Amino acid sequence: VQLLESGGASIQAGGSLRLSCEASGFTFASYAINWVRQAPGRGLEWVAEISGTGSSTYYAGSVEGRFTISRDNFKKTVFLQMDSLRAEDTAVYYCAKSLTTEWLGGYFDYWGQGTLVTVSS
């Protein structure tokens, strides 16, 4: 199993950015994928989840209405569209695979290496 994030960058507050997470080594369409972020020197914060089919999505309150998670099962890729970025969105963003196909909102058994988003005010 491999997850490879890309798209991180330095950007001004108010701007937009799209992160990608390319997956391999498992039946991609069967598993929910999550984004989890970690601000410098801080703990982990769950950001969003998308179900295997893409029909269900969930967001943390801090990003709801500004971020959109989506997926392309043919390309085995999950996206995180981030709009109206704020300084407090500065973090390493990880994508993470759900442990099981049985339920949503679970645990994360594989993580990517992360991509850094820096938002300057």
40 binds another protein (CB under 8 A): no
- Beta partners for 57? 50
88 binds another protein (CB under 8 A): no
Minimum distance of another protein from residue 46's CB (angstroms) = 4
25 binds another protein (CB under 8 A): no
Q: Are 2 and 90 in contact (CB under 8 A)?
A: no
Tokens of 119: 């938002």
Q: What angle do CA 62, 86, 38 make, to 5 degrees?
A: 60
Q: How far is CA 110 from CA 56, 57, 86, 93, in A?
A: 20, 19, 28, 14
Selected binder of another protein within 20, 114, 116, 118 (CB under 8 A):
114
Q: Are 91 and 120 in contact (CB under 8 A)?
A: no
Nearer to another protein (CB atom), residue 8 or residue 114: 114
Number of amino acids touching another protein (CB under 8 A):
22
Nearer to another protein (CB atom), residue 11 or residue 111: 111
89 binds another protein (CB under 8 A): no
Q: Using CB under 8 A as the criterion, which residues of the chain lie in contact with another protein when the complex forms?
A: 34, 36, 43-46, 49, 58-61, 94, 99, 105-109, 111-114
